Amino acid sequence: MADAEIGVIGGSGFYSFLDDVTEITVDTPYGSPSDSLFLGEVAGRQVAFLPRHGRGHHLPPHRINYRANLWALRSVGVRQVLGPCAVGGLRPEYGPGTLLVPDQVVDRTKTRAQTYFDGVPLADGSIPRVFHLPFADPYCPAARTAALAAARGREWDAVDGGTLVVIEGPRFSSRAESRWHAAQGWSVVGMTGHPEAALARELGLCYASLTLVTDLDAGAETGEGVSHHDVLEVFGKNVGRLREVLFDAVGALPATDARTCGCAEVHDGWKLGIELP
């Protein structure tokens, strides 16, 4: 039997108070994930929690081993993943405390390994085939629906859809960059949403992002710009609420075998050259 069916990639604040948490370490062909997996039961479902930045929050966004993280989750049985993250709002109406469930992503990262199919031999000598994944709709529609329903059930008027632009970080945007992002019509800016969503797709996992706005990005406000302190403060104020929404969303996700979204069939007809865990 699998250890878990649903994965949550977020901070320790999402699982630290659960009664029965089992910590396991998982190694992957891509190296070590950010931390141990923490297994617990939420809403009758087995969930694997993974602190994205490590439990001490020591990994900056560009040093996170995203490939190992998604691989580790899949290897313990996870097939649906929720990825909460903190973001900056690119529109004045998306102020601190806004919850937005994006339906599009733009990649402006620079240095990250973002595919399992890069032609580099794996430890066992096998070489993955080139695989161009379909990514027109980066997020699982069923997981998005579950997240939005959970938010509304907790009277949090979440924004349904929008574009998450992911920057390399760890610095925040300059005012010019931020204005440019906003001028494109993009909604929120973060540092971890890519390549998480793309890698989940390559592994045939359902994935949805829940973005919590912690600040107005530099181009959307007129003050001093965003500070790390502000981000932590707003996130801390909302983490309990976000946890409730996440847990409700976990309960609202379809059973693994009952999914009709198509995320699991992304490899149909392809010879991968690697064996998925």
- Binding residues for substrate, as ranges, are 191, 215-217
φ, ψ of residue 42 to 5 degrees: the values are -135, 125
Tokens, residue 58: 């020591």
The nearer residue to Zn ion, 140 or 212, going by C-beta atoms, is: 140
200 binds Zn ion (CB under 5 A): no
> Is 217 an annotated catalytic residue?
yes
239 binds Zn ion (CB under 5 A): no
206 binds Zn ion (CB under 5 A): yes
> For the chain, where are the E strands, in sequence order?
6-10, 22-24, 37-42, 45-51, 80-89, 99-101, 104-108, 159-160, 163-167, 188-190, 206-216
Nearest CA among 21, 53, 26, 52 for reference residue 38: 21
Alpha helices per DSSP H over 184-269: 193-202, 228-252
- Burial annotation 67-83 (CB, 10 A radius, 16+ → b, else e): bbbbbbbbbbbbbbbbb
Q: Pick the catalytic residue from 35, 107, 217, 248.
A: 217
- Residue in the structure block whose two tokens are 């059930």: 153
The nearer residue to Zn ion, 143 or 220, going by C-beta atoms, is: 143
> Is 124 an annotated catalytic residue?
no
188 binds Zn ion (CB under 5 A): no
> What is the closest distance, in whole angstroms, from the C-beta atom of residue 142 to Zn ion in the complex?
5
Each residue 113-152 as x (binds Zn ion by CB under 5 A) or -, in order, gives: ---------------------------x------------
261 binds Zn ion (CB under 5 A): yes
Q: Pick the catalytic residue from 137, 215, 230, 268.
A: 215
Instruction: State the Cα–Cα distance between residues 240 and 246, nearest whole angstrom.
Output: 10
> What is the closest distance, in whole angstroms, from the C-beta atom of residue 246 to Zn ion in the complex?
17
Q: Which residues would be at the binding site for Zn ion (CB under 5 A)?
A: 140, 206, 261, 263
Q: Which residues are known catalytic residues?
A: 215, 217
